[in-house]
Amino acid sequence: MIGLVSARLMRALRPAFAVAVLTMSAPIAAQAQDTRTITHELGETTITGEPVRIVALEFSFVQALDSLDIVPVGIADDNQPERIEQNLGKTIEYSSVGTRLEPNLELISVLQPDLIIADERRHGAIYEQLSAIAPTIVLNSWDGSYEDIKQAVVTIADAIGDKAKGEQVVADHNARMAEIASKIPANDKRFMLAVATADNWSLHTSASFSGSIFAAIGVKTALEASEPVESGVGLERLVAINPDVLLVATDPGGTIFNQVQDNSAWQAISAVQNGLVFEVNRNQYARFRDLRTAELIANDVLSKVFNVQ
C-alpha cells in the first residue's frame, strides 16, 4: 500500500524528476567513460558507468545483487515483501514493482532505473518495453540450472561494473559447496524434489535447479528429463518414479502432502519406507533459485539425509 501511494506520488512528480535527473546526469555521464557490452539471453546490451538504480524482476537476481552488496531500488516481489526478507535473511528498503509474472511497467519507469534485470521465460516478451525504460539484461532464472544461476551472478556483476567481485562471490560459493560435497558419503540414493500444491504435485527433474544442485554435490536425481518440471501429476506418478529420498516443498497451509499420508500407495514409496521424506520450504527450495539457497539445500541434504553436521 505504501509502495502504491509513493508510486502514485512519484508519477505525479515525474516532470520535476525528469528535470532533476537531466541536470544531475550530465556530469555523471561525463565522468563515467567506461562502457561495457553485456551478452545475455536475448542479445547484447551496452551499459555505461556503474548502474546504481537497479530493478530486479526475479528473486535470484535480488540475492545475486545482495551478494555484491547492492540493494535494488525495485523488486518484482509478488507483493509479498516477507519473501524478500526470507530470501536475504534481512529487511531491505525497496519499492515493489508488482508480480514476477506481470511486473508493472509504470512502476518500473517511475523508479528511473539505470539497469533492469529480467528473466527470459517470464519477461522475454516485454524485453523491448523494458529496454525502452532502461538498459535491460535478460537472464535465465525461472528454468535455469545451477550453472545458469552461477553464471548470472558474474553477468550481473559485470553489468554493474565489478565483474571481479562476482567471480569472487562464485569462487567462494564453489569452495563452500565443494566442502559440503566432500562430506557426503558415497551412496546410490535417488533424490527428488516434489512441490506439493493444494491439489497436485509438481516434480522437479534433473534439469531443474534442485536437480543440478544434487548433481553438484554428487547425488543422483530420481527423475531424468530435459524439462525442469513435470507439473500436475498424481500420486501414481510419484509411486512409479519411486525416489529413495523425497524433499516435499510446501507453502504454509494444507497441501496434497497432508492428504496422502494414509494412502498405502504413498507408503509404498521407497523414501517413505526409509523415513527419508522431508518437508521443506517452497520459497527456499523452488522459488529463490540462488547461491544462498543452493548452499542451504546442500547443507540440508548433508545434515538431514546423511546426518552429517
Partner 1 sequence: MSNKDKGAAAFTAAPYQPDTGWSARMHLRPTWLFALILALLFAAAVGNLMVGAAGFSVEQSLRALFLPDTSVETALIWEVRLPRVLLAVLVGANLAVAGVLIQTLTRNPLASPQTFGINGGAALAIVVAVIAVPGLSGGSTVVPAFVGAAVIGMIMWILSLSNAITPLKLALAGIALQLVLAAMVQAVLIANNASADIVYWLAGSVTTAQWSKVWTILPFSLVGIVVAIAGGHHFGLLALDTSTGMSLGQNARRTGGLASALIVILAGSSVAVAGPIGFVGLMVPHIVRTLVGEEQRTVLILSVAAGPLLLVAADLGGKLVAYPAELPVGIITAILGAPAFLPITWRNRNQ
Burial 119-155 (b: 16+ CB within 10 A, else e): bbebbeebbeebbebbbbbbbbbbbbbbebbbbbbbb
Interface residues with partner 1 (CB under 8 A) are 78-80, 99, 101-102, 197-200, 230-237, 239-240, 251-256, 258-260, 263-268
Cα 43 to Cα 60: distance, rounded to the nearest angstrom: 20
Q: Which is nearer to partner 1, 39 or 267 (CB)?
A: 267
Instruction: Provide the minimum distance between the beta carbon of 247 and partner 1 in the complex, in angstroms, as a whole number.
Output: 18
Instruction: Provide the minimum distance between the beta carbon of 82 and partner 1 in the complex, in angstroms, as a whole number.
Output: 13
Coil/strand/helix, residue 73: coil
CB 282 within 8 A of CB 257: no
Q: How many residues does the chain have?
A: 309
Element holding 170 (H helix, E strand):
helix 163-183
Cα 223 to Cα 191: distance, rounded to the nearest angstrom: 8
Cα 301 to Cα 278: distance, rounded to the nearest angstrom: 10
Instruction: Provide the minimum distance between the beta carbon of 162 and partner 1 in the complex, in angstroms, as a whole number.
Output: 33
Instruction: Provide the minimum distance between the beta carbon of 237 and partner 1 in the complex, in angstroms, as a whole number.
Output: 4
Cα 189 to Cα 148: distance, rounded to the nearest angstrom: 25
Q: Which is nearer to partner 1, 15 or 253 (CB)?
A: 253
Q: Which is nearer to partner 1, 52 or 235 (CB)?
A: 235
Instruction: Provide the minimum distance between the beta carbon of 77 and partner 1 in the complex, in angstroms, as a whole number.
Output: 10
Q: Which is nearer to partner 1, 187 or 259 (CB)?
A: 259
Q: Which is nearer to partner 1, 16 or 268 (CB)?
A: 268
